[in-house]
Homo-oligomer: A and B are copies of this chain.
Amino acid sequence: MAAPRLLVSRRIRATPYTPRVEALGVSGYSVVNHTVLPKGFQKTVEEDYWHLKKHVQLWDVGCQRQVELHGADAARLAQLMTARDLSNARVGQCLYAPMIDADAKMLNDPIILKLAEDRYWFSIADADMLLWAKGLAQGMSLELGIVEPDVWPLAVQGPKSDDLVARVFGERVRDIGFFRFVVIDFEGQELVVARTGFSRQGGFELYPEGFSLGLKLWDALWQAGADLEVSPGCPNLIERVEGGLLSYGNEMTRADNPLECGLEQYCQLDGSVEYIGLEALQKIAQAGPERMIRGVVFEGDACPACQHPWPLTVGDGQVGYVTSAIWSPGFERNVALAMLNRGYWQAGTAITVNLADGSQRKGVVRELPMQES
Protein backbone atom coordinates (compact mmCIF):
# COMPACT_ATOMS: atom_id res chain seq x y z
CA MET A 1 0.00 0.00 0.00
CA ALA A 2 1.20 3.53 -0.73
CA ALA A 3 2.02 5.54 2.39
CA PRO A 4 -0.97 7.51 3.75
CA ARG A 5 -0.85 11.28 3.38
CA LEU A 6 0.29 13.68 6.09
CA LEU A 7 -2.39 16.13 7.21
CA VAL A 8 -0.82 19.51 8.06
CA SER A 9 -2.46 21.73 10.68
CA ARG A 10 -1.32 24.56 12.92
CA ARG A 11 0.15 21.91 15.24
CA ILE A 12 2.24 20.28 12.48
CA ARG A 13 4.09 23.41 11.47
CA ALA A 14 5.03 24.51 7.98
CA THR A 15 8.38 26.28 7.49
CA PRO A 16 9.22 29.41 5.46
CA TYR A 17 10.36 27.03 2.70
CA THR A 18 7.18 24.94 2.53
CA PRO A 19 5.66 26.93 -0.38
CA ARG A 20 8.89 26.51 -2.34
CA VAL A 21 9.36 22.78 -1.68
CA GLU A 22 5.70 22.13 -2.52
CA ALA A 23 6.05 24.09 -5.78
CA LEU A 24 9.11 21.94 -6.53
CA GLY A 25 7.10 18.74 -6.10
CA VAL A 26 7.97 17.43 -2.63
CA SER A 27 6.76 13.81 -2.61
CA GLY A 28 6.80 12.98 1.07
CA TYR A 29 7.21 14.46 4.53
CA SER A 30 8.33 13.34 7.90
CA VAL A 31 7.60 15.28 11.08
CA VAL A 32 10.43 16.45 13.36
CA ASN A 33 9.89 18.74 16.34
CA HIS A 34 6.24 19.31 15.34
CA THR A 35 7.45 20.61 11.96
CA VAL A 36 7.42 19.13 8.45
CA LEU A 37 10.66 17.73 7.01
CA PRO A 38 10.71 17.01 3.23
CA LYS A 39 11.71 13.40 2.52
CA GLY A 40 11.94 13.39 -1.26
CA PHE A 41 11.33 15.22 -4.54
CA GLN A 42 10.97 14.09 -8.12
CA LYS A 43 14.34 12.36 -8.21
CA THR A 44 14.62 8.80 -6.92
CA VAL A 45 16.71 8.36 -3.76
CA GLU A 46 19.52 7.06 -5.99
CA GLU A 47 19.37 9.99 -8.41
CA ASP A 48 19.33 12.31 -5.42
CA TYR A 49 22.38 10.52 -3.96
CA TRP A 50 24.45 11.11 -7.09
CA HIS A 51 23.25 14.69 -7.36
CA LEU A 52 24.20 15.40 -3.74
CA LYS A 53 27.69 13.98 -4.34
CA LYS A 54 28.27 16.09 -7.48
CA HIS A 55 26.36 19.35 -7.22
CA VAL A 56 24.59 21.44 -4.56
CA GLN A 57 21.21 21.21 -2.85
CA LEU A 58 18.96 23.37 -0.66
CA TRP A 59 17.45 21.46 2.25
CA ASP A 60 14.44 22.68 4.23
CA VAL A 61 15.65 21.77 7.72
CA GLY A 62 13.42 24.30 9.48
CA CYS A 63 12.47 21.39 11.76
CA GLN A 64 15.90 21.70 13.39
CA ARG A 65 14.44 23.95 16.08
CA GLN A 66 16.70 26.00 18.32
CA VAL A 67 16.54 25.94 22.12
CA GLU A 68 18.10 29.26 23.12
CA LEU A 69 19.63 29.69 26.57
CA HIS A 70 20.52 33.25 27.51
CA GLY A 71 21.41 35.01 30.72
CA ALA A 72 23.43 34.56 33.87
CA ASP A 73 23.08 30.78 34.23
CA ALA A 74 23.04 29.93 30.51
CA ALA A 75 26.60 28.57 30.42
CA ARG A 76 26.02 26.58 33.59
CA LEU A 77 22.85 24.92 32.31
CA ALA A 78 24.38 24.27 28.87
CA GLN A 79 27.21 22.30 30.50
CA LEU A 80 24.88 20.43 32.86
CA MET A 81 22.89 19.20 29.85
CA THR A 82 25.73 17.67 27.84
CA ALA A 83 28.57 15.17 28.31
CA ARG A 84 30.66 17.30 25.91
CA ASP A 85 33.23 19.50 27.63
CA LEU A 86 32.19 23.09 26.91
CA SER A 87 34.79 24.72 29.16
CA ASN A 88 37.06 25.68 26.27
CA ALA A 89 34.31 26.32 23.72
CA ARG A 90 34.65 29.64 21.95
CA VAL A 91 32.09 32.02 20.51
CA GLY A 92 31.67 31.06 16.86
CA GLN A 93 32.07 27.37 17.53
CA CYS A 94 29.56 24.58 16.74
CA LEU A 95 29.78 21.51 18.99
CA TYR A 96 28.13 18.15 18.38
CA ALA A 97 26.93 17.38 21.90
CA PRO A 98 25.25 14.25 23.31
CA MET A 99 22.58 15.18 25.86
CA ILE A 100 21.96 12.52 28.50
CA ASP A 101 19.87 11.99 31.63
CA ALA A 102 21.06 10.93 35.10
CA ASP A 103 21.20 7.31 33.92
CA ALA A 104 23.39 8.38 30.98
CA LYS A 105 20.62 7.59 28.49
CA MET A 106 20.53 9.56 25.24
CA LEU A 107 17.98 12.40 25.22
CA ASN A 108 19.19 14.15 22.07
CA ASP A 109 22.28 14.87 19.97
CA PRO A 110 22.14 18.55 19.01
CA ILE A 111 24.76 20.84 17.60
CA ILE A 112 25.38 23.61 20.12
CA LEU A 113 26.15 27.05 18.68
CA LYS A 114 27.96 29.28 21.18
CA LEU A 115 26.66 32.74 20.23
CA ALA A 116 28.10 34.60 23.26
CA GLU A 117 29.51 33.72 26.66
CA ASP A 118 25.96 33.84 28.00
CA ARG A 119 23.98 32.78 24.91
CA TYR A 120 23.70 29.33 23.29
CA TRP A 121 21.54 27.67 20.66
CA PHE A 122 20.92 23.93 20.90
CA SER A 123 20.01 22.92 17.34
CA ILE A 124 18.02 19.84 18.21
CA ALA A 125 16.91 16.50 16.81
CA ASP A 126 13.37 15.23 17.37
CA ALA A 127 12.46 15.76 21.05
CA ASP A 128 11.20 18.75 23.05
CA MET A 129 14.50 19.61 24.73
CA LEU A 130 13.07 23.01 25.62
CA LEU A 131 10.98 21.19 28.25
CA TRP A 132 14.01 19.36 29.67
CA ALA A 133 15.89 22.68 29.92
CA LYS A 134 12.90 24.48 31.46
CA GLY A 135 12.30 21.66 33.93
CA LEU A 136 15.93 21.70 35.09
CA ALA A 137 16.00 25.50 35.35
CA GLN A 138 12.70 25.54 37.27
CA GLY A 139 13.78 22.77 39.61
CA MET A 140 17.20 24.33 40.29
CA SER A 141 15.94 27.94 40.42
CA LEU A 142 18.44 28.98 37.74
CA GLU A 143 18.47 32.49 36.31
CA LEU A 144 18.17 32.40 32.56
CA GLY A 145 15.83 32.70 29.62
CA ILE A 146 14.89 29.55 27.67
CA VAL A 147 13.05 30.17 24.41
CA GLU A 148 12.50 28.77 20.94
CA PRO A 149 13.53 31.67 18.68
CA ASP A 150 11.76 32.27 15.36
CA VAL A 151 14.77 30.79 13.50
CA TRP A 152 14.35 28.42 10.53
CA PRO A 153 17.55 26.61 9.45
CA LEU A 154 18.21 26.13 5.76
CA ALA A 155 20.99 23.75 4.71
CA VAL A 156 23.17 24.07 1.61
CA GLN A 157 24.86 20.71 1.01
CA GLY A 158 27.08 19.21 -1.69
CA PRO A 159 30.52 19.90 -3.21
CA LYS A 160 29.42 23.12 -4.95
CA SER A 161 28.14 24.61 -1.68
CA ASP A 162 31.08 26.99 -1.27
CA ASP A 163 30.58 28.33 -4.79
CA LEU A 164 26.89 28.90 -4.28
CA VAL A 165 27.11 30.47 -0.84
CA ALA A 166 30.03 32.68 -1.92
CA ARG A 167 27.97 34.06 -4.80
CA VAL A 168 25.32 35.29 -2.37
CA PHE A 169 27.43 36.29 0.65
CA GLY A 170 30.91 36.89 -0.73
CA GLU A 171 34.19 35.03 -0.82
CA ARG A 172 34.77 35.26 2.94
CA VAL A 173 32.45 32.30 3.54
CA ARG A 174 35.11 30.03 2.00
CA ASP A 175 37.25 30.74 5.06
CA ILE A 176 34.68 29.53 7.58
CA GLY A 177 36.25 26.54 9.33
CA PHE A 178 34.60 23.14 9.84
CA PHE A 179 32.08 23.40 12.70
CA ARG A 180 32.59 27.16 12.92
CA PHE A 181 30.10 29.94 12.19
CA VAL A 182 30.17 33.64 11.35
CA VAL A 183 27.42 36.24 11.58
CA ILE A 184 26.91 38.13 8.33
CA ASP A 185 24.50 40.80 7.16
CA PHE A 186 21.70 39.67 4.85
CA GLU A 187 18.93 42.08 3.87
CA GLY A 188 19.84 44.25 6.86
CA GLN A 189 19.50 41.43 9.38
CA GLU A 190 22.03 39.24 11.16
CA LEU A 191 22.38 35.74 9.72
CA VAL A 192 24.37 32.89 11.27
CA VAL A 193 26.29 30.95 8.59
CA ALA A 194 27.77 27.69 9.90
CA ARG A 195 29.91 25.08 8.15
CA THR A 196 27.85 22.11 9.30
CA GLY A 197 25.17 19.81 7.89
CA PHE A 198 23.72 16.32 7.91
CA SER A 199 25.78 14.93 5.02
CA ARG A 200 29.43 14.12 4.36
CA GLN A 201 29.50 16.16 1.12
CA GLY A 202 30.34 19.53 2.66
CA GLY A 203 28.23 22.64 3.00
CA PHE A 204 26.57 25.09 5.33
CA GLU A 205 23.60 25.57 7.59
CA LEU A 206 22.07 29.06 7.60
CA TYR A 207 19.91 30.37 10.46
CA PRO A 208 17.54 33.14 9.27
CA GLU A 209 15.25 34.71 11.88
CA GLY A 210 11.64 35.06 10.73
CA PHE A 211 9.60 33.62 7.87
CA SER A 212 10.12 36.52 5.48
CA LEU A 213 13.91 36.46 5.78
CA GLY A 214 13.85 32.70 5.26
CA LEU A 215 11.94 33.03 2.02
CA LYS A 216 14.33 35.74 0.74
CA LEU A 217 17.26 33.50 1.62
CA TRP A 218 15.83 30.51 -0.26
CA ASP A 219 15.11 32.65 -3.32
CA ALA A 220 18.54 34.31 -3.33
CA LEU A 221 20.34 30.96 -3.19
CA TRP A 222 17.99 29.35 -5.70
CA GLN A 223 18.44 32.11 -8.25
CA ALA A 224 22.22 32.21 -7.80
CA GLY A 225 22.49 28.46 -8.29
CA ALA A 226 20.73 27.88 -11.61
CA ASP A 227 23.95 27.10 -13.53
CA LEU A 228 25.29 25.03 -10.61
CA GLU A 229 22.40 22.58 -11.04
CA VAL A 230 21.01 23.52 -7.61
CA SER A 231 18.22 21.18 -6.59
CA PRO A 232 15.85 20.84 -3.63
CA GLY A 233 16.99 18.04 -1.36
CA CYS A 234 16.85 16.49 2.05
CA PRO A 235 19.00 14.17 4.15
CA ASN A 236 19.73 11.29 1.77
CA LEU A 237 19.31 7.87 3.39
CA ILE A 238 21.96 6.15 1.25
CA GLU A 239 24.56 8.83 1.93
CA ARG A 240 23.63 9.05 5.61
CA VAL A 241 23.88 5.28 6.20
CA GLU A 242 27.16 4.93 4.30
CA GLY A 243 28.52 7.96 6.16
CA GLY A 244 27.43 6.70 9.57
CA LEU A 245 25.40 9.80 10.39
CA LEU A 246 23.04 8.85 13.21
CA SER A 247 19.41 9.93 13.47
CA TYR A 248 18.03 10.37 16.98
CA GLY A 249 14.88 8.26 17.32
CA ASN A 250 16.14 5.84 14.68
CA GLU A 251 19.68 4.69 15.54
CA MET A 252 19.49 5.82 19.16
CA THR A 253 16.72 6.37 21.71
CA ARG A 254 16.33 6.86 25.45
CA ALA A 255 17.23 3.15 25.75
CA ASP A 256 20.84 3.80 24.64
CA ASN A 257 23.88 5.50 26.15
CA PRO A 258 26.38 7.58 24.16
CA LEU A 259 29.19 5.03 24.40
CA GLU A 260 26.96 2.44 22.74
CA CYS A 261 26.31 5.04 20.05
CA GLY A 262 30.02 5.42 19.34
CA LEU A 263 30.08 8.97 20.74
CA GLU A 264 32.85 8.52 23.31
CA GLN A 265 34.95 11.21 21.64
CA TYR A 266 32.22 13.74 22.53
CA CYS A 267 32.05 12.69 26.20
CA GLN A 268 34.34 14.14 28.88
CA LEU A 269 34.83 11.19 31.21
CA ASP A 270 37.67 12.36 33.47
CA GLY A 271 35.43 14.24 35.93
CA SER A 272 36.96 17.64 35.12
CA VAL A 273 33.52 19.02 34.23
CA GLU A 274 30.24 18.29 35.96
CA TYR A 275 27.14 17.33 34.04
CA ILE A 276 23.98 15.29 34.55
CA GLY A 277 24.76 11.61 34.03
CA LEU A 278 28.54 11.85 34.58
CA GLU A 279 28.65 9.24 37.33
CA ALA A 280 26.50 6.76 35.40
CA LEU A 281 28.56 7.30 32.27
CA GLN A 282 31.85 6.75 34.11
CA LYS A 283 30.53 3.42 35.39
CA ILE A 284 29.54 2.37 31.88
CA ALA A 285 32.95 3.39 30.56
CA GLN A 286 34.69 1.38 33.27
CA ALA A 287 32.71 -1.79 32.50
CA GLY A 288 32.83 -1.13 28.76
CA PRO A 289 29.69 -0.76 26.65
CA GLU A 290 27.48 -3.83 26.13
CA ARG A 291 26.76 -3.02 22.47
CA MET A 292 27.81 -0.63 19.73
CA ILE A 293 26.44 1.03 16.61
CA ARG A 294 28.14 -0.26 13.46
CA GLY A 295 27.58 -0.48 9.74
CA VAL A 296 26.33 -3.65 8.05
CA VAL A 297 26.37 -4.55 4.36
CA PHE A 298 24.15 -7.38 3.19
CA GLU A 299 23.30 -9.41 0.10
CA GLY A 300 20.25 -9.72 -2.11
CA ASP A 301 17.94 -7.39 -3.95
CA ALA A 302 17.22 -3.85 -2.82
CA CYS A 303 15.70 -4.12 0.65
CA PRO A 304 12.42 -2.48 1.74
CA ALA A 305 12.41 0.38 4.26
CA CYS A 306 13.18 -0.64 7.85
CA GLN A 307 10.17 0.65 9.79
CA HIS A 308 10.79 -1.51 12.85
CA PRO A 309 14.20 -2.86 13.91
CA TRP A 310 15.21 -6.06 12.07
CA PRO A 311 16.85 -8.75 14.24
CA LEU A 312 20.47 -9.66 13.51
CA THR A 313 21.30 -13.27 14.31
CA VAL A 314 24.28 -15.62 14.47
CA GLY A 315 23.04 -19.19 14.47
CA ASP A 316 19.88 -19.19 16.58
CA GLY A 317 20.86 -16.26 18.77
CA GLN A 318 20.00 -12.58 18.32
CA VAL A 319 23.14 -10.45 18.45
CA GLY A 320 21.69 -7.06 17.51
CA TYR A 321 19.26 -5.25 15.22
CA VAL A 322 19.17 -3.03 12.14
CA THR A 323 17.64 0.44 12.55
CA SER A 324 18.02 1.95 9.04
CA ALA A 325 18.73 0.20 5.73
CA ILE A 326 18.74 0.91 1.99
CA TRP A 327 20.24 -0.25 -1.30
CA SER A 328 23.53 1.47 -2.12
CA PRO A 329 24.23 1.95 -5.83
CA GLY A 330 27.88 2.67 -5.05
CA PHE A 331 28.43 -0.47 -2.96
CA GLU A 332 26.04 -2.48 -5.16
CA ARG A 333 24.78 -4.01 -1.95
CA ASN A 334 22.36 -3.09 0.82
CA VAL A 335 23.83 -0.94 3.59
CA ALA A 336 22.50 -0.56 7.12
CA LEU A 337 23.10 0.98 10.50
CA ALA A 338 22.81 -1.49 13.34
CA MET A 339 23.28 -1.95 17.07
CA LEU A 340 25.46 -5.01 17.79
CA ASN A 341 26.12 -6.83 21.04
CA ARG A 342 29.61 -7.12 22.49
CA GLY A 343 31.53 -9.89 20.79
CA TYR A 344 29.80 -9.29 17.46
CA TRP A 345 30.66 -5.70 16.57
CA GLN A 346 34.11 -6.34 15.08
CA ALA A 347 34.38 -5.40 11.40
CA GLY A 348 34.17 -8.57 9.32
CA THR A 349 31.82 -10.48 11.64
CA ALA A 350 29.35 -12.52 9.60
CA ILE A 351 25.71 -12.06 10.67
CA THR A 352 22.23 -12.77 9.29
CA VAL A 353 19.74 -9.97 8.67
CA ASN A 354 16.12 -11.00 9.34
CA LEU A 355 13.74 -8.79 7.34
CA ALA A 356 10.17 -8.00 8.38
CA ASP A 357 8.81 -10.35 5.70
CA GLY A 358 10.63 -13.29 7.28
CA SER A 359 13.37 -13.54 4.65
CA GLN A 360 17.02 -13.80 5.65
CA ARG A 361 20.05 -12.12 4.08
CA LYS A 362 23.76 -12.78 4.64
CA GLY A 363 25.57 -9.75 5.98
CA VAL A 364 28.85 -8.55 7.42
CA VAL A 365 29.72 -5.91 10.03
CA ARG A 366 31.61 -2.77 8.92
CA GLU A 367 33.30 0.18 10.61
CA LEU A 368 31.63 3.60 10.26
CA PRO A 369 31.76 5.54 8.03
CA MET A 370 31.61 2.67 5.55
CA GLN A 371 33.96 2.55 2.55
CA GLU A 372 33.34 0.80 -0.75
CA SER A 373 35.59 -2.25 -1.00
Provide the residues of chain B in CB contact with A29, threshold 8 Å. Answer: 4-7
Q: In the complex, what distance in Å separates the CA atom of A27 from the CA atom of B8?
A: 14
User: Quick check: B307 and A9 within 8 Å, CB to CB?
Assistant: yes
A247 at interface, CB cutoff 8 A: yes
For chain A, residues 281 to 312, give those with C-beta under 8 angstroms from any C-beta of chain B.
Answer: 305-309
A223 at interface, CB cutoff 8 A: no
A48 at interface, CB cutoff 8 A: no
For chain A, residues 1 to 20, give those with C-beta under 8 angstroms from any C-beta of chain B.
Answer: 1-12, 14
Provide the residues of chain B in CB contact with A273, threshold 8 Å. Answer: none
A323 at interface, CB cutoff 8 A: yes
A136 at interface, CB cutoff 8 A: yes
Quick one: given A139-B137, A307-B14, are A3 and B3 in contact (CB under 8 Å)?
no
A30 at interface, CB cutoff 8 A: yes
User: Quick check: A10 and B128 within 8 Å, CB to CB?
Assistant: no
User: Quick check: A4 and B28 within 8 Å, CB to CB?
Assistant: yes
- Closest beta carbon of chain B to A357's beta carbon, Å: 13
Provide the residues of chain B in CB contact with A8, threshold 8 Å. Answer: 3, 305, 307
Name which of A11, A27, A40, A140 has the most chain B CB atoms within 10 A of its CB: A11
18 more CB-based (< 8 A) A-B contacts, given A9-B305, A127-B131: A5-B27, A6-B6, A6-B31, A7-B29, A7-B39, A7-B40, A8-B305, A9-B249, A10-B323, A12-B249, A34-B126, A34-B249, A101-B134, A107-B131, A128-B128, A131-B135, A132-B134, A133-B135
Q: Can you spell out 7 A-B residue pairs with CB atoms less than 8 angstroms apart?
A: A6-B28, A7-B29, A9-B247, A10-B308, A14-B307, A133-B135, A135-B139
For the complex of A and B, the 6 pairs showing the least CB-CB separation, nearest first, are: A139-B139, A135-B135, A11-B249, A128-B128, A6-B6, A31-B31
